[in-house]
Structure 1
Amino acid sequence: MLKYSLRENLLTPAPDDYMAQAADVRSYTLDEIIDLMMDKGTTLTRADVAAALQVYGEMVSAIIKDGSAVNTPLFNTALSISGVFNGANDSFDKKRHTVNLNITAGTLLRDAAAKVKCEKTETASTDPYITEVTDIVSGKTNDVLTKGGVVQITGSRLKFDATDAAQGIFFVPETGAPVRADVIAENKPARLMAIIPADLKAGTYYIEVRTKLNEMSRPLKTMKAGRFNKPLTAAG
Protein backbone atom coordinates (compact mmCIF):
# COMPACT_ATOMS: atom_id res chain seq x y z
CA MET A 1 0.00 0.00 0.00
CA LEU A 2 1.43 3.36 -1.05
CA LYS A 3 0.41 5.99 1.46
CA TYR A 4 0.40 9.62 0.40
CA SER A 5 -0.61 13.06 1.59
CA LEU A 6 -1.25 16.24 -0.34
CA ARG A 7 0.97 19.30 -0.06
CA GLU A 8 0.78 22.68 -1.73
CA ASN A 9 2.45 22.73 -5.14
CA LEU A 10 4.81 25.71 -5.03
CA LEU A 11 5.90 25.18 -8.65
CA THR A 12 2.63 26.44 -10.13
CA PRO A 13 0.97 29.86 -9.67
CA ALA A 14 -2.51 28.42 -9.04
CA PRO A 15 -3.31 28.63 -5.30
CA ASP A 16 -5.39 25.43 -5.30
CA ASP A 17 -2.80 23.19 -6.95
CA TYR A 18 -1.62 20.39 -4.71
CA MET A 19 0.81 17.54 -5.26
CA ALA A 20 1.01 14.09 -3.75
CA GLN A 21 3.84 13.32 -1.35
CA ALA A 22 4.54 9.67 -0.63
CA ALA A 23 4.55 8.94 3.10
CA ASP A 24 6.15 6.18 5.17
CA VAL A 25 7.81 4.57 2.14
CA ARG A 26 9.93 1.62 3.19
CA SER A 27 13.26 1.38 1.36
CA TYR A 28 14.95 -2.01 1.08
CA THR A 29 18.69 -2.59 0.78
CA LEU A 30 20.18 -5.55 -1.07
CA ASP A 31 20.88 -7.28 2.25
CA GLU A 32 17.23 -6.93 3.26
CA ILE A 33 16.03 -8.26 -0.10
CA ILE A 34 18.26 -11.30 0.36
CA ASP A 35 16.70 -11.80 3.81
CA LEU A 36 13.23 -11.78 2.21
CA MET A 37 14.37 -14.29 -0.40
CA MET A 38 15.63 -16.59 2.33
CA ASP A 39 12.37 -16.24 4.29
CA LYS A 40 10.42 -17.26 1.19
CA GLY A 41 12.29 -20.54 1.11
CA THR A 42 15.14 -21.73 -1.10
CA THR A 43 17.60 -24.62 -1.26
CA LEU A 44 20.41 -22.10 -1.71
CA THR A 45 22.34 -20.73 1.23
CA ARG A 46 22.37 -17.02 1.99
CA ALA A 47 25.99 -16.89 0.85
CA ASP A 48 25.02 -18.53 -2.46
CA VAL A 49 22.26 -15.97 -3.08
CA ALA A 50 24.51 -13.04 -2.16
CA ALA A 51 27.27 -14.36 -4.44
CA ALA A 52 24.86 -14.89 -7.35
CA LEU A 53 23.49 -11.36 -7.05
CA GLN A 54 27.03 -10.00 -6.80
CA VAL A 55 28.02 -11.75 -10.04
CA TYR A 56 24.76 -10.62 -11.67
CA GLY A 57 25.52 -7.00 -10.79
CA GLU A 58 29.09 -7.30 -12.02
CA MET A 59 27.98 -8.80 -15.35
CA VAL A 60 25.34 -6.12 -15.91
CA SER A 61 27.96 -3.46 -15.16
CA ALA A 62 30.40 -5.11 -17.56
CA ILE A 63 27.79 -5.17 -20.33
CA ILE A 64 27.06 -1.47 -19.84
CA LYS A 65 30.79 -0.66 -19.71
CA ASP A 66 31.15 -2.46 -23.06
CA GLY A 67 28.61 -0.05 -24.57
CA SER A 68 25.86 -2.65 -24.87
CA ALA A 69 22.27 -2.65 -23.63
CA VAL A 70 20.53 -4.81 -21.03
CA ASN A 71 16.94 -5.96 -21.50
CA THR A 72 15.46 -7.94 -18.61
CA PRO A 73 12.00 -8.37 -17.04
CA LEU A 74 13.13 -5.94 -14.31
CA PHE A 75 14.64 -3.12 -16.35
CA ASN A 76 15.90 -2.06 -19.77
CA THR A 77 18.90 0.15 -20.46
CA ALA A 78 20.02 2.33 -23.34
CA LEU A 79 23.03 4.59 -23.79
CA SER A 80 23.01 8.05 -25.31
CA ILE A 81 25.56 10.81 -25.82
CA SER A 82 24.93 14.47 -24.99
CA GLY A 83 26.98 17.49 -26.02
CA VAL A 84 27.65 19.45 -29.20
CA PHE A 85 29.91 18.06 -31.94
CA ASN A 86 31.77 20.58 -34.08
CA GLY A 87 31.12 19.28 -37.56
CA ALA A 88 30.96 15.80 -39.08
CA ASN A 89 34.66 15.11 -38.43
CA ASP A 90 34.52 15.83 -34.69
CA SER A 91 34.94 12.96 -32.21
CA PHE A 92 33.83 12.17 -28.66
CA ASP A 93 35.63 14.28 -26.06
CA LYS A 94 35.03 13.63 -22.34
CA LYS A 95 35.49 17.34 -21.64
CA ARG A 96 32.62 18.28 -23.96
CA HIS A 97 30.48 15.17 -24.20
CA THR A 98 28.80 12.85 -21.74
CA VAL A 99 27.60 9.26 -21.99
CA ASN A 100 24.17 8.96 -20.39
CA LEU A 101 22.70 5.76 -19.00
CA ASN A 102 18.93 5.65 -19.53
CA ILE A 103 16.97 3.08 -17.53
CA THR A 104 13.32 2.16 -17.97
CA ALA A 105 11.16 -0.35 -16.15
CA GLY A 106 10.86 -3.85 -17.58
CA THR A 107 7.64 -5.85 -17.81
CA LEU A 108 7.81 -7.11 -14.22
CA LEU A 109 8.26 -3.64 -12.73
CA ARG A 110 5.64 -2.08 -15.02
CA ASP A 111 3.12 -4.73 -14.00
CA ALA A 112 4.00 -4.23 -10.33
CA ALA A 113 3.61 -0.45 -10.55
CA ALA A 114 0.23 -0.83 -12.24
CA LYS A 115 -1.00 -2.91 -9.30
CA VAL A 116 0.10 -0.54 -6.51
CA LYS A 117 -2.81 0.47 -4.30
CA CYS A 118 -2.81 4.01 -2.91
CA GLU A 119 -4.16 5.26 0.40
CA LYS A 120 -4.52 8.93 1.26
CA THR A 121 -3.45 9.91 4.79
CA GLU A 122 -5.05 12.81 6.61
CA THR A 123 -1.89 14.49 7.87
CA ALA A 124 1.25 15.38 5.98
CA SER A 125 4.53 13.88 7.11
CA THR A 126 6.70 15.97 9.40
CA ASP A 127 9.84 14.03 8.48
CA PRO A 128 12.69 15.67 6.56
CA TYR A 129 11.74 15.90 2.89
CA ILE A 130 14.39 16.00 0.15
CA THR A 131 13.42 17.40 -3.23
CA GLU A 132 16.81 17.59 -4.96
CA VAL A 133 20.44 16.53 -4.54
CA THR A 134 23.11 18.42 -6.49
CA ASP A 135 26.73 17.38 -6.89
CA ILE A 136 28.48 20.76 -6.99
CA VAL A 137 31.70 19.54 -8.64
CA SER A 138 30.02 17.91 -11.64
CA GLY A 139 26.98 20.17 -11.63
CA LYS A 140 24.74 17.11 -12.02
CA THR A 141 21.44 16.79 -10.18
CA ASN A 142 20.05 13.57 -8.70
CA ASP A 143 22.75 11.54 -10.41
CA VAL A 144 26.31 11.30 -9.08
CA LEU A 145 28.44 11.94 -6.00
CA THR A 146 31.99 13.27 -6.38
CA LYS A 147 34.08 11.98 -3.48
CA GLY A 148 35.70 14.85 -1.60
CA GLY A 149 33.40 17.33 -3.32
CA VAL A 150 30.36 19.24 -2.10
CA VAL A 151 26.78 18.01 -2.10
CA GLN A 152 23.80 20.36 -1.88
CA ILE A 153 20.50 19.05 -0.57
CA THR A 154 17.30 21.07 -0.89
CA GLY A 155 13.90 20.33 0.59
CA SER A 156 12.10 21.04 3.84
CA ARG A 157 12.58 20.25 7.55
CA LEU A 158 16.23 19.35 6.89
CA LYS A 159 18.03 21.15 9.73
CA PHE A 160 19.70 18.95 12.34
CA ASP A 161 21.94 19.19 15.40
CA ALA A 162 25.43 18.74 13.94
CA THR A 163 26.91 18.06 17.40
CA ASP A 164 24.86 14.86 17.68
CA ALA A 165 26.55 11.99 15.82
CA ALA A 166 23.19 10.25 15.40
CA GLN A 167 21.87 13.18 13.37
CA GLY A 168 23.08 14.52 10.06
CA ILE A 169 23.51 13.61 6.40
CA PHE A 170 24.06 9.91 5.75
CA PHE A 171 25.14 8.14 2.57
CA VAL A 172 23.32 4.80 2.72
CA PRO A 173 24.81 2.05 0.49
CA GLU A 174 22.84 -0.86 -0.93
CA THR A 175 24.84 -3.10 1.41
CA GLY A 176 26.86 -2.19 4.47
CA ALA A 177 26.78 0.58 7.04
CA PRO A 178 25.71 4.19 6.30
CA VAL A 179 28.46 6.81 6.08
CA ARG A 180 27.92 10.15 7.85
CA ALA A 181 29.09 13.47 6.40
CA ASP A 182 31.47 14.94 8.95
CA VAL A 183 31.96 18.41 7.44
CA ILE A 184 28.80 20.52 7.15
CA ALA A 185 29.01 23.80 5.22
CA GLU A 186 25.37 24.85 5.55
CA ASN A 187 22.63 23.61 7.86
CA LYS A 188 19.28 25.23 7.17
CA PRO A 189 15.71 23.88 7.11
CA ALA A 190 15.46 24.20 3.31
CA ARG A 191 19.07 23.59 2.30
CA LEU A 192 22.06 21.58 3.45
CA MET A 193 25.59 21.61 2.07
CA ALA A 194 28.30 19.16 3.10
CA ILE A 195 31.58 17.62 2.03
CA ILE A 196 31.16 14.16 0.53
CA PRO A 197 33.56 11.82 2.38
CA ALA A 198 36.71 11.37 0.32
CA ASP A 199 36.95 7.72 1.35
CA LEU A 200 33.40 6.89 0.22
CA LYS A 201 33.58 3.55 -1.59
CA ALA A 202 32.43 3.35 -5.21
CA GLY A 203 28.83 2.21 -5.54
CA THR A 204 25.19 3.22 -5.28
CA TYR A 205 24.00 5.34 -2.36
CA TYR A 206 20.80 6.89 -1.03
CA ILE A 207 20.94 10.24 0.76
CA GLU A 208 19.22 10.24 4.14
CA VAL A 209 18.80 13.15 6.56
CA ARG A 210 18.25 12.35 10.23
CA THR A 211 17.20 15.00 12.72
CA LYS A 212 15.70 15.48 16.16
CA LEU A 213 14.63 19.05 15.47
CA ASN A 214 11.13 20.13 14.57
CA GLU A 215 10.13 22.76 12.02
CA MET A 216 10.86 25.48 14.60
CA SER A 217 14.36 24.03 15.21
CA ARG A 218 13.34 22.88 18.65
CA PRO A 219 14.62 19.52 19.96
CA LEU A 220 12.45 16.42 19.73
CA LYS A 221 12.52 13.23 21.77
CA THR A 222 12.39 10.95 18.73
CA MET A 223 14.52 10.80 15.60
CA LYS A 224 12.99 11.69 12.25
CA ALA A 225 14.50 10.54 8.97
CA GLY A 226 13.90 11.40 5.35
CA ARG A 227 15.49 9.46 2.49
CA PHE A 228 15.81 10.64 -1.12
CA ASN A 229 14.30 7.87 -3.24
CA LYS A 230 16.62 8.29 -6.22
CA PRO A 231 19.90 6.31 -6.18
CA LEU A 232 23.16 8.25 -6.58
CA THR A 233 26.42 6.84 -7.91
CA ALA A 234 29.84 7.38 -6.36
CA ALA A 235 32.52 6.66 -8.95
CA GLY A 236 35.67 4.69 -8.27
Structure 2
Amino acid sequence: MAEEIKYQINGQLAENTVTVDNKEDMILVPVSIGTADEARIIAEMKAEDSGLREETIQHVHDLEKRIVKRMLMSGMNVNNGLYYASASFRGVIEGSQWNPDKNSIVVNFNVGADLREAIKKTTVNIIGGKSSAMYIGGVADTSTRAQDASATAGRAFSLTGSKIKVAGPDEAVGITLTDSKNVVTKITEDLFVVNNPSKVTFIIPADLANGTYVLKLTTQFSGSGALLKTPRSVEKTIYIGTAPSGGGSQGGGGGLDENPLG
Protein backbone atom coordinates (compact mmCIF):
# COMPACT_ATOMS: atom_id res chain seq x y z
CA MET A 1 0.00 0.00 0.00
CA ALA A 2 1.38 3.38 -1.01
CA GLU A 3 2.52 5.73 1.71
CA GLU A 4 -0.15 8.36 2.35
CA ILE A 5 1.84 10.91 4.31
CA LYS A 6 0.65 14.50 3.97
CA TYR A 7 2.90 17.43 4.74
CA GLN A 8 2.11 21.05 5.38
CA ILE A 9 4.11 24.19 5.98
CA ASN A 10 2.83 27.60 7.01
CA GLY A 11 3.87 30.84 5.36
CA GLN A 12 3.30 34.50 6.11
CA LEU A 13 2.96 37.28 3.57
CA ALA A 14 5.58 40.02 3.61
CA GLU A 15 6.38 43.02 1.46
CA ASN A 16 8.87 42.41 -1.31
CA THR A 17 11.74 44.65 -0.26
CA VAL A 18 13.15 44.55 -3.79
CA THR A 19 10.06 46.29 -5.24
CA VAL A 20 9.33 48.79 -2.49
CA ASP A 21 7.16 51.00 -4.73
CA ASN A 22 4.69 48.19 -5.41
CA LYS A 23 2.76 47.55 -2.20
CA GLU A 24 0.80 44.72 -3.87
CA ASP A 25 3.96 42.77 -4.63
CA MET A 26 4.29 40.23 -1.82
CA ILE A 27 6.55 37.31 -0.98
CA LEU A 28 5.81 34.32 1.24
CA VAL A 29 8.11 33.64 4.19
CA PRO A 30 8.12 30.15 5.78
CA VAL A 31 7.12 30.03 9.45
CA SER A 32 9.87 28.26 11.35
CA ILE A 33 8.76 25.88 14.09
CA GLY A 34 12.29 25.35 15.39
CA THR A 35 15.42 23.40 14.55
CA ALA A 36 15.59 19.61 14.72
CA ASP A 37 18.94 18.52 16.10
CA GLU A 38 20.16 14.93 16.34
CA ALA A 39 18.39 14.32 19.66
CA ARG A 40 15.07 15.52 18.23
CA ILE A 41 15.44 13.32 15.15
CA ILE A 42 16.15 10.24 17.28
CA ALA A 43 13.20 11.04 19.55
CA GLU A 44 10.91 11.33 16.53
CA MET A 45 12.21 8.01 15.16
CA LYS A 46 11.48 6.32 18.49
CA ALA A 47 7.98 7.82 18.53
CA GLU A 48 7.35 6.32 15.06
CA ASP A 49 8.30 2.84 16.33
CA SER A 50 8.15 2.54 20.11
CA GLY A 51 9.32 -1.06 19.84
CA LEU A 52 12.86 0.10 19.08
CA ARG A 53 15.16 0.99 21.94
CA GLU A 54 16.65 4.47 21.84
CA GLU A 55 20.14 2.98 22.04
CA THR A 56 19.43 0.91 18.92
CA ILE A 57 18.19 3.95 16.99
CA GLN A 58 21.23 5.97 18.11
CA HIS A 59 23.56 3.17 16.99
CA VAL A 60 21.93 2.91 13.53
CA HIS A 61 21.91 6.70 13.18
CA ASP A 62 25.62 6.95 14.05
CA LEU A 63 26.43 3.99 11.80
CA GLU A 64 24.72 5.62 8.81
CA LYS A 65 26.63 8.86 9.37
CA ARG A 66 29.93 6.98 9.63
CA ILE A 67 29.27 4.98 6.45
CA VAL A 68 28.15 8.03 4.45
CA LYS A 69 31.24 9.99 5.53
CA ARG A 70 33.53 7.11 4.60
CA MET A 71 31.92 6.71 1.19
CA LEU A 72 32.03 10.41 0.37
CA MET A 73 35.61 10.81 1.56
CA SER A 74 36.60 7.79 -0.56
CA GLY A 75 35.27 9.40 -3.74
CA MET A 76 31.92 7.60 -3.90
CA ASN A 77 28.72 9.46 -4.76
CA VAL A 78 25.93 8.91 -2.22
CA ASN A 79 22.24 8.70 -3.12
CA ASN A 80 20.04 8.00 -0.10
CA GLY A 81 16.78 9.22 -1.62
CA LEU A 82 16.72 12.50 0.30
CA TYR A 83 19.82 13.84 -1.44
CA TYR A 84 22.59 13.12 -3.92
CA ALA A 85 26.01 14.01 -2.52
CA SER A 86 29.48 14.06 -4.03
CA ALA A 87 32.87 15.42 -3.04
CA SER A 88 34.84 17.89 -5.15
CA PHE A 89 37.99 19.96 -4.81
CA ARG A 90 38.60 23.70 -4.74
CA GLY A 91 41.68 25.74 -5.40
CA VAL A 92 44.51 25.71 -7.91
CA ILE A 93 47.02 22.86 -7.54
CA GLU A 94 50.55 24.25 -7.55
CA GLY A 95 53.54 22.04 -8.22
CA SER A 96 51.31 18.96 -8.39
CA GLN A 97 51.02 19.11 -4.59
CA TRP A 98 47.92 19.34 -2.38
CA ASN A 99 48.15 22.42 -0.16
CA PRO A 100 45.56 22.52 2.68
CA ASP A 101 46.08 26.29 2.96
CA LYS A 102 44.99 26.83 -0.64
CA ASN A 103 43.04 23.69 -1.52
CA SER A 104 39.92 22.28 0.12
CA ILE A 105 37.39 19.46 -0.14
CA VAL A 106 33.71 20.39 -0.43
CA VAL A 107 30.61 18.23 -0.56
CA ASN A 108 27.83 19.13 -2.99
CA PHE A 109 24.19 18.23 -2.34
CA ASN A 110 21.21 17.96 -4.67
CA VAL A 111 17.61 17.23 -3.75
CA GLY A 112 16.83 13.53 -4.10
CA ALA A 113 13.74 11.82 -5.50
CA ASP A 114 12.20 11.06 -2.07
CA LEU A 115 12.42 14.68 -0.98
CA ARG A 116 11.09 15.92 -4.31
CA GLU A 117 8.10 13.60 -3.87
CA ALA A 118 7.55 15.03 -0.37
CA ILE A 119 7.66 18.55 -1.83
CA LYS A 120 4.91 17.60 -4.27
CA LYS A 121 2.75 16.34 -1.39
CA THR A 122 3.24 19.45 0.74
CA THR A 123 0.38 21.86 1.30
CA VAL A 124 1.30 25.50 1.86
CA ASN A 125 -0.97 27.44 4.22
CA ILE A 126 -0.87 31.23 4.07
CA ILE A 127 -1.67 32.36 7.60
CA GLY A 128 -1.60 36.13 7.27
CA GLY A 129 0.97 38.89 7.23
CA LYS A 130 4.42 39.09 8.74
CA SER A 131 4.44 42.84 9.22
CA SER A 132 5.47 42.75 12.86
CA ALA A 133 8.13 40.07 12.49
CA MET A 134 11.82 40.21 11.74
CA TYR A 135 13.03 38.15 8.80
CA ILE A 136 15.64 37.83 6.08
CA GLY A 137 13.94 37.58 2.70
CA GLY A 138 16.98 37.56 0.41
CA VAL A 139 20.77 37.57 0.29
CA ALA A 140 23.28 38.66 -2.35
CA ASP A 141 27.02 38.57 -2.93
CA THR A 142 27.58 42.10 -4.19
CA SER A 143 30.80 41.15 -5.99
CA THR A 144 29.32 38.31 -8.08
CA ARG A 145 25.62 39.33 -7.88
CA ALA A 146 24.85 35.72 -6.89
CA GLN A 147 21.69 35.28 -4.81
CA ASP A 148 22.19 31.60 -3.95
CA ALA A 149 23.60 32.32 -0.45
CA SER A 150 27.19 32.18 -1.72
CA ALA A 151 29.58 34.84 -0.45
CA THR A 152 33.13 35.97 -1.16
CA ALA A 153 35.66 36.50 1.61
CA GLY A 154 36.83 40.10 1.68
CA ARG A 155 33.85 41.36 -0.34
CA ALA A 156 30.47 42.85 0.51
CA PHE A 157 27.42 40.70 1.29
CA SER A 158 23.86 42.02 1.55
CA LEU A 159 20.79 40.92 3.48
CA THR A 160 17.30 42.18 2.66
CA GLY A 161 14.24 41.70 4.81
CA SER A 162 12.32 43.44 7.56
CA LYS A 163 13.45 44.92 10.89
CA ILE A 164 17.02 43.66 10.44
CA LYS A 165 18.83 46.88 11.34
CA VAL A 166 21.57 46.03 13.82
CA ALA A 167 20.98 48.24 16.85
CA GLY A 168 21.04 48.11 20.64
CA PRO A 169 23.53 47.98 23.53
CA ASP A 170 23.13 44.30 24.41
CA GLU A 171 26.37 42.31 24.01
CA ALA A 172 24.60 39.79 21.78
CA VAL A 173 23.64 42.44 19.20
CA GLY A 174 25.51 42.11 15.91
CA ILE A 175 26.22 39.64 13.14
CA THR A 176 28.15 36.42 13.67
CA LEU A 177 29.35 33.72 11.27
CA THR A 178 29.73 30.21 12.72
CA ASP A 179 31.63 27.59 10.73
CA SER A 180 31.19 23.80 10.72
CA LYS A 181 33.58 23.49 13.69
CA ASN A 182 31.47 25.93 15.74
CA VAL A 183 34.12 28.65 15.52
CA VAL A 184 32.29 31.98 15.78
CA THR A 185 33.45 35.13 14.00
CA LYS A 186 31.71 38.39 14.90
CA ILE A 187 31.44 41.10 12.27
CA THR A 188 33.06 44.24 13.68
CA GLU A 189 31.41 47.66 13.28
CA ASP A 190 34.01 48.84 10.77
CA LEU A 191 32.87 46.11 8.34
CA PHE A 192 29.28 47.42 8.11
CA VAL A 193 28.51 49.25 4.86
CA VAL A 194 24.71 49.66 5.06
CA ASN A 195 22.62 49.22 8.20
CA ASN A 196 18.97 49.93 7.44
CA PRO A 197 15.72 48.28 8.62
CA SER A 198 15.23 46.50 5.28
CA LYS A 199 18.85 46.12 4.12
CA VAL A 200 22.13 45.33 5.83
CA THR A 201 25.39 45.12 3.91
CA PHE A 202 28.72 44.15 5.45
CA ILE A 203 32.16 42.93 4.41
CA ILE A 204 32.88 39.23 4.86
CA PRO A 205 36.21 38.99 6.79
CA ALA A 206 38.98 38.33 4.30
CA ASP A 207 40.61 35.61 6.40
CA LEU A 208 37.58 33.30 6.54
CA ALA A 209 38.08 29.99 4.74
CA ASN A 210 35.66 28.67 2.16
CA GLY A 211 32.87 26.55 3.61
CA THR A 212 29.41 26.53 5.14
CA TYR A 213 28.55 29.11 7.80
CA VAL A 214 25.50 29.96 9.89
CA LEU A 215 24.91 33.70 9.72
CA LYS A 216 23.13 35.01 12.81
CA LEU A 217 21.83 38.57 13.00
CA THR A 218 20.80 39.77 16.46
CA THR A 219 19.23 43.15 17.13
CA GLN A 220 17.09 45.14 19.53
CA PHE A 221 15.63 47.20 16.69
CA SER A 222 11.83 47.22 16.81
CA GLY A 223 10.77 49.68 14.12
CA SER A 224 8.73 51.71 16.58
CA GLY A 225 11.48 54.02 17.80
CA ALA A 226 12.04 52.23 21.11
CA LEU A 227 14.54 49.41 21.40
CA LEU A 228 13.41 45.93 22.39
CA LYS A 229 14.29 44.92 25.94
CA THR A 230 15.26 41.46 24.75
CA PRO A 231 17.27 41.04 21.53
CA ARG A 232 15.83 38.84 18.80
CA SER A 233 17.73 36.90 16.16
CA VAL A 234 17.36 35.43 12.71
CA GLU A 235 19.65 32.86 11.11
CA LYS A 236 20.62 32.04 7.53
CA THR A 237 23.00 29.42 6.15
CA ILE A 238 25.52 30.90 3.71
CA TYR A 239 28.50 29.51 1.81
CA ILE A 240 31.80 31.32 1.52
CA GLY A 241 32.98 30.25 -1.90
CA THR A 242 30.53 28.48 -4.19
CA ALA A 243 27.16 27.35 -2.86
CA PRO A 244 26.59 23.57 -3.00
CA SER A 245 24.85 22.52 -6.21
CA GLY A 246 21.13 22.84 -5.59
CA GLY A 247 21.74 24.39 -2.16
CA GLY A 248 20.57 27.86 -3.17
CA SER A 249 17.52 26.83 -5.12
CA GLN A 250 14.32 28.64 -4.23
CA GLY A 251 12.08 26.43 -6.30
CA GLY A 252 10.02 23.44 -5.37
CA GLY A 253 12.61 20.91 -6.42
CA GLY A 254 11.55 20.67 -10.05
CA GLY A 255 13.88 20.83 -12.99
CA LEU A 256 16.51 18.48 -11.56
CA ASP A 257 17.76 15.47 -13.43
CA GLU A 258 16.90 12.08 -11.94
CA ASN A 259 20.59 11.73 -11.15
CA PRO A 260 22.25 15.13 -11.27
CA LEU A 261 25.60 13.61 -10.38
CA GLY A 262 25.62 11.59 -13.55
Task: Place the TM-score, normalised by the shorter chain, in its bin.
Answer: 0.5 to 0.7
Q: Tell me whether 1:141 sits opposite 2:147 in the alignment.
A: yes
Q: Tell me whether 1:116 sits opposite 2:116 in the alignment.
A: no
Summarize the Cα distance change of 1:13–1:182 in structure 2 as closer, same or farther, 3 Å threshold: closer
**2:40 maps to which of 36, 39, 61:** 36
Q: How many residues were matched structurally?
A: 204
Letter in 1 for 2:148: N
**2:133 maps to which of 127, 130, 134:** 127
**1:226 maps to which of 234, 240, 243:** 234
Shift of 1:77: 6.3
What residue number does 2:49 align with?
none
TM-score (norm 2): 0.59
Letter in 2 for 1:2: I
SS at 2:133 equivalent: coil
Q: Tell me whether 1:170 sits opposite 2:176 in the alignment.
A: yes
Letter in 1 for 2:186: R
Mind listing any 5+ residue stretches in structure 1 that lack a counterpart? 79-100
Task: Note if contact 1:75-1:104 (Cα within 8 Å) is conserved in structure 2.
Answer: yes
Q: Tell me whether 1:158 sits opposite 2:159 in the alignment.
A: no
Letter in 2 for 1:3: N
Q: Tell me whether 1:195 sits opposite 2:208 in the alignment.
A: no
Letter in 1 for 2:56: T
SS at 1:219 equivalent: coil
Summarize the Cα distance change of 1:122–1:153 in structure 2 as closer, same or farther, 3 Å threshold: closer
Letter in 2 for 1:26: G
Hey, what's the Cα distance between the residues in 2 that align with 1:103 and 1:234? 16
SS at 2:165 equivalent: coil
Hey, what's the Cα distance between the residues in 2 that align with 1:62 and 1:117? 39
**1:56 maps to which of 68, 76, 80:** 68
Task: Note if contact 2:14-2:131 (Cα within 8 Å) is conserved in structure 1.
Answer: no
Hey, what's the Cα distance between the residues in 1 that align with 2:58 and 2:81? 24
Shift of 1:58: 6.6
Q: Tell me whether 1:4 sits opposite 2:11 in the alignment.
A: yes
Task: Note if contact 1:75-1:109 (Cα within 8 Å) is conserved in structure 2.
Answer: yes
Mind listing any 5+ residue stretches in structure 2 that lack a counterpart? 1-7, 47-53, 87-106, 243-262
What residue number does 1:72 align with?
80
Task: Note if contact 2:14-2:130 (Cα within 8 Å) is conserved in structure 1.
Answer: yes
Task: Note if contact 1:171-1:179 (Cα within 8 Å) is conserved in structure 2.
Answer: yes
TM-score (norm 1): 0.64
Hey, what's the Cα distance between the residues in 1 that align with 2:12 and 2:213? 26
Superposition RMSD in Å: 3.9
Task: Note if contact 2:141-2:151 (Cα within 8 Å) is conserved in structure 1.
Answer: yes
